[in-house]
């Protein structure tokens, strides 16, 4: 059975304190790993898609990387507006995403 | 237009009521989805429509009935729901096969 595990469950950072979120996966055949940001009561907002080990993508203070077993979302010099729940999801079949439980990030000014 | 629009944003319904959730996108996406999300949990897939045909039903109870009138619209008809069905219902769309999902803001459903 496909499994997606995110850690830590929650992360409290001081503004400017860089950190990383982990998404480890056990799947039969990866067809893409996705990162989303979700604010309370809102739908997930797409951040990145990664397809192969070694791939990296960046957007502002966020950088996502992928290995054969896990993905990291690095947050560099975070600001309070980066506070959100970050969801990792894998696609192993057409149309179907399997989500991890998420990491809730709180950035204090 | 790069959005998925869901209405209503909030809905309170009794267990004997019939209501519908609506979703609309104008990005030319040919796959549309319904997800259910409970508090502090990840989204769970309910239904997938591909080219206006139901392609995936994740063993969802029949009190939830999806409908795809055309390639831009997706409805979820609700009847005889239970309090445990209270959740955030998310609509999403994507290019074929599931790349580039775009989610709507959701409908917060409360069943009383």
Distance CA B32, CA B26 (A): 12
Do the Cβ atoms of A32 and B99 come within 8 Å?
yes
Contacts of A46 in chain B (CB under 8 A): 100-103
What is the nearest CA distance from B108 to chain A, expressed in angstroms? 8
Name every chain B residue with its beta carbon within 8 A of the beta carbon of A5.
none
Distance CA B55, CA B65 (A): 14
Which residues from B are below 8 Å from A87, CB to CB? Answer: 42-43
On chain B, the residues whose CB falls within 8 A of the CB of A25 are none
pLDDT at position B49: 95
Among B31, B100, B103, whose Cβ lies nearest the Cβ of A43?
A: B103
With a pLDDT cut of 90, the percent of chain A lying above it is 84
Instruction: Reply yes or no on whether the pLDDT at B95 is more than 90.
Output: no
Residue B105 has pLDDT above 90, yes or no: yes
Q: In this predicted structure, what is the pLDDT of residue A1?
A: 76
Which of A31, A49, A95 has its CB closest to that of B56? A95
User: Tokens in use for B56?
Assistant: 């995936």
Distance from CA of A31 to the nearest CA of B (A): 9
Contact B92 A43 (CB under 8 A): yes
Closest to B109 measured CA to CA, from B25, B45, B20: B20
Higher-scoring residue by pLDDT: A29, A63: A63
pLDDT above 80 for B1 = no
- Given pLDDT bands bounded at 50, 70 and 90, which one contains residue A27? confident
φ/ψ of residue A9, rounded to 5: -70, -40
Of A43, A44, A95, nearest to B98 by CB-CB distance is A95
Q: Does A63 touch chain B (CB under 8 A)?
A: no
Q: Where is pLDDT greater, at B95 or B83?
A: B83
Confidence band, pLDDT 50/70/90 cuts, at residue A79: very high
Contact check, Cβ <8 Å, A96/B99 = no
pLDDT at B83 > cutoff 80: yes
Question: How far apart, in whole angstroms, are the C-alpha atoms of residue B69 and residue B89?
Answer: 19
Compute the nearest-CA separation of B106 from chain A (Å): 6
């Amino acid at each position: 059975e496909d499994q997606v595990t995110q850690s830590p469950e929650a992360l409290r950072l001081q503004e400017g304190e860089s950190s990383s979120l982990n998404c480890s996966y056990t799947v039969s055949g990866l067809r893409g790993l996705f990162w989303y940001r979700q604010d309370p009561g809102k739908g997930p907002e797409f951040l990145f898609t990664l397809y192969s080990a070694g791939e990296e993508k960046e957007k502002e203070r966020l950088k996502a990387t992928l290995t054969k077993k896990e993905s990291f979302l690095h947050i560099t010099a975070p600001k309070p507006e980066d506070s959100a729940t970050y969801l990792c999801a894998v696609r192993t079949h057409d149309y179907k995403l399997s989500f991890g439980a998420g990491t809730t990030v709180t950035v204090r000014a | 237009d790069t959005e998925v629009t869901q209405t209503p944003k909030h809905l309170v319904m009794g267990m004997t009521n019939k209501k519908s959730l609506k979703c609309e996108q104008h990005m030319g996406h040919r796959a549309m989805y319904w997800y259910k999300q409970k508090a502090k949990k990840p989204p769970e897939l309910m239904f997938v429509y591909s080219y206006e045909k139901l392609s995936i039903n994740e063993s969802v109870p029949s009190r939830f009935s999806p409908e795809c009138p055309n390639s831009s619209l997706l409805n979820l008809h609700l009847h005889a729901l239970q309090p445990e069905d209270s959740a955030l219902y998310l609509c999403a769309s994507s290019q074929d096969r599931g790349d580039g999902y775009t989610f709507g803001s959701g409908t917060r459903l409360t069943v009383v």
